[in-house]
Amino acid sequence: MSFDITKMNNSLEWDDLRLVLAVGRTGTLTGAAKALGVSHPTVFRKLRELERRISVELFERTRQGYAPSAAGEEAIAVAGRIETEVHALERQVIGRDLQPSGTVSLTTTDALYHACFAPVLARFCVAFPEIDLDIVLSNSVLDLTEREADIAIRPATAPPDHLVGRRLGVIRQSIYVRRDLLDVPWRESSLGWVGPDRRMGYAALESWMKEESHAENCRMRVNSTPGMLAAVKGGAGLAVLPDYAAADDPHLKRVEAVPRLDVDLWLLTHPTLRRAARIRALMDFVASAAKERFP
């Protein structure tokens, strides 16, 4: 049975299409529930209600998950197009905002937030009481085009072409160890290494450790920079850490810089959002504060 939205527009709502899109993209009810911020039973119930209401089976239940039927594939395609249009409209409406008020969503890494930007954003809230912040800490790159966030503070060799912003400075990287553990030159020590877990997605550091033969002596892997920092402070061994997070720690010793891993820090947004007063206010505030930390 073919899925014709023009014949069902009295039965379907945007939330229905979001549900179909989430199940189609993830292939599981658990994945869809996570994407939509609801429970697994809620997704199961709503999908059954939707299929019963429109008298169309949108997904086939298999051992591997939920596979779209022919009608389901059509519904997913329609939902995807509508989602794109909705996000474009949101960006245009926000872009016309002239007053510094409302909510701004910002994404950055947990390391940058804890070591650098948490106090900056707290000061921003005091300076702009009419603007609320929605902060998402993630090592994955969120899609600003799809409105997963309005602003991103990210390390990058080069920002995506479809985004605009400014380069805040350079994140310097160095080898660190707990100060009381190293009594000989670090290359002569028997200390093991702390490295990034594959889920951290730090390919540059993984490659460097392999080329320098440190990966074979890696005794601990962690999936976040704060986790690696805590491991080094706990005495787990040597690790490459960003200077902004480790250089001022009295318990750590900086033994050698690793210029090859230096990376630019960018403040980015979508072109249609940069004219919004609240977006400009936050970007200007963050950029000004970053001059002190990343000269």
* Residue 2 pLDDT exceeds 60: no
Q: Which residue has the higher pLDDT, 160 or 214?
A: 214
Decide if 246 contacts 174 (C-beta within 8 A): yes
Digit-coded pLDDT (tens) for 263-295: 999 999 988 887 788 999 999 999 999 988 887
Residue 143 pLDDT level (bands cut at 50, 70, 90): very low
253 inside domain: yes
Q: 147 and 131 in one domain?
A: yes
Helices (H), 37-173: 40-54, 70-95, 110-112, 118-127
* Residue 96 pLDDT exceeds 70: no
* Residue 102 pLDDT exceeds 60: yes
Q: Total domain count for the chain? A: 3
Which pLDDT score, from 0 to 100, does residue 7 have? 45
Domain span at 28: 5-94
Q: 177 and 143 in one domain?
A: no
The arithmetic mean of pLDDT across residues 113-131, rounded, is 95
Q: 254 and 177 in one domain?
A: yes
293 inside domain: no
Q: 202 and 139 in one domain?
A: no
Say which range, 61-65, 84-88, 92-96, 241-245, has the weakest mean pLDDT.
92-96
The arithmetic mean of pLDDT across residues 226-231, rounded, is 96
Q: 126 and 83 in one domain?
A: no
Q: 145 and 284 in one domain?
A: yes
Decide if 39 contacts 33 (C-beta within 8 A): yes
Of the CA atoms within 13 Å of residue 168, those in its CB half-sphere come to 27
Mean model confidence pLDDT for the chain: 87
Say which range, 73-77, 146-150, 163-167, 214-218, has the weakest mean pLDDT.
146-150
Q: 257 and 280 in one domain?
A: no
* Residue 92 pLDDT exceeds 80: no
Q: 90 and 110 in one domain?
A: no
Q: 87 and 21 in one domain?
A: yes
Three-class SS state of 97 = coil
Percent of all residues in the chain with a pLDDT value above 70, rounded to a whole number = 90
28 inside domain: yes
CATH number at residue 126: 3.40.190.10
Three-class SS state of 198 = helix
- As a whole number of angstroms, the distance between CA 275 and CA 270 comes to 10
The arithmetic mean of pLDDT across residues 53-68, rounded, is 90
131 Cβ neighbours under 8 A, 6+ residues apart: 100, 101, 102, 103, 104, 124, 125, 278, 281, 282
pTM above 0.85, yes or no: no
53 inside domain: yes
